[in-house]
Amino acid sequence: MSSAFSPRAFAGRFGIALLVVVVLMTGVVVGVNARVRVTLNGIHRIPLKTDAELGPGQPANILLIGSDSRSFVSNQTQKNAFGDTQSAGGQRSDTIMVLHVDPQAKKVTLVSFPRDLWVNIPGVGYSKINAAFNDGPQKLVDTLRSNFQIPINHYMEVDFQSFQGVVDALGTVPVYFPAPSRDAFSGLNEPAGCQRLNGQAALQYVRARHLQVLVDGRWREPDPIPDLGRIARQQAFLRKLATLAVRKGLNNPLAANDIAGSVLSKLQVSQSLSTNDILRLINAFRDVNPGDPNAIGTTTIPTHGAVISRQDVLELTQPDANILLTALRTFTPSNTTAAAVNGPRPSTIRVRVLNRTNGVAGAAGKALTSFQQDGFVAAGVGNVTRNVAKTEVRYASGALDKAKVVQGYLGGVGTLVPDASLIDTDVAVVLGQDYTAVTLPAGATAPSATTAAPQSTVTTKKGVTTTTAAPSPEASC
């Protein structure tokens, strides 16, 4: 197998699905399976030194990783899909996620740490964070503590087979491709439109690190920083996966049992996460809708590209990164989130989006559409004649509060910049290389489905014209 294949690259990305399957889905199973406690007691537990919780039912940080171990491979089909222990021995984690859970508020925030983040690994020295797992999960826990001062209360680890098992238990998961898409390394090859992915195809999609899309007869790579673009796609996929899993489980207890079993049998957790802890999570999040961004939020630690020791790496973007890290350290809302929730209403804010030189074609339009869907007033798109590394949130005179609200929807990126030249808009967002997506902050209220929706006009035979909301192809997938 080519070293560029990197099938482990999806590792850890399905934290939302893991949470739903282990917690929400198990909550469904509890009602029909009296032996669920026996199943939870049988989960493999790893002796790790973790931080003590504040108390039962209190906020906690759970470190989620995905192991790329091939120890389960037993036939040619699995070997073709995953490789085997000879081609990829041992195990690694290319991506790390910290899941911040607040059972009392029934809120979850999932923070992704990209694999290329440059850190000081205790006892090893400076390297990419994915290398920390080479020495086992304890080294990874210690690396997060020493570099970011993040308390880690519990640990969960899953593998390739679990992810594919969840998707296959559901049947398929619909994914919208705006253009033909491929990745020669992961095996992804899908036409444009709404495609229903089975377990193997879904795995190819979430593993895709070298995505190409066909635009105007040419194959183009849409991700300026592939790891960050992939994280955004996978977070959206996992939210959909989690929503479908809960919906199917509620309607079919037997399916719920299959879905939960596909993960529980492969799950490894720290000894600190007892059966009672998991059952408390089940009770706290039993009624949570995984598709609600107010309850389950996803974001990526803000980073920017750099070259260190002749390696392409990522470094933290400050002060933006500390906003998220402070929340993980202290269990309090970040300033950015508070501004987004408590500031001026999006419906009073005019937003323009500008793409940078050499930016992804159509990125500004897509971002503006996302802002519209979140209730902001669209003020057009455009381009800037320079390459921007860090996303800028430029604001007109007297519009600082509005700019802070917009900043809160950028997933942890965005530097505030005053711009007196802005006249016909409140805020202009200049998309930098660190931009991944417009996301609803935890605690913010999503607008109704009809807010800012595209309109379609239909004229009947009697000449009566009506206007109705027309869902986007992606939304209807």
CB 257: neighbour CB atoms within 10 A?
Answer: 21
pTM of the model: 0.63
In 3-state terms, what secondary structure has residue 3?
helix
Q: What is the pLDDT of residue 338?
A: 59
DSSP string, 209-235: SS-EEEETTEEE---SSHHHHHHHHHH
Q: Which CATH number fits domain 3-166+224-330: 1.10.3720.10, 2.40.30.170, 3.40.630.190, 1.10.1740.10?
A: 3.40.630.190
Is the CATH number 3.30.2290.10 carried by domain 335-477?
no
User: Which tokens in the block code for residue 184?
Assistant: 């020669």
Task: Compute mean pLDDT per 10 residues along the chain, 477 residues long, and list them.
Answer: 30 45 56 61 88 81 73 54 49 70 79 91 94 90 95 85 79 91 92 93 87 91 78 77 74 68 76 82 70 71 90 88 83 58 82 80 85 86 82 90 92 86 87 87 60 41 42 65
Bond into 319 cis (ω within 30)? yes
Q: How many CA atoms lie within 13 A of 132 on its CB side?
A: 28
Query: What pLDDT shows up at residue 10?
Result: 30
**Same-fold call for 3-166+224-330 versus 335-477:** no
Tokens representing residue 77 in the block: 């089909």
pLDDT of residue 452: 40
**Extents of the domains making up the chain:** 3-166+224-330, 335-477
Give the C-alpha separation, 111 to 235, whole Å.
Answer: 10
The helix (H) or strand (E) run that includes residue 199 is helix 199-207
Query: What integer pLDDT is reported at residue 167 of this predicted model?
Result: 85
155 within 8 A of 62, measured Cβ to Cβ = yes
Q: What is the pLDDT of residue 85?
A: 47
Residue 296 pLDDT: 73
Residues 6+ away with beta carbon under 8 Å from 252: none
* Distance from chain centroid for Cα 294: 14
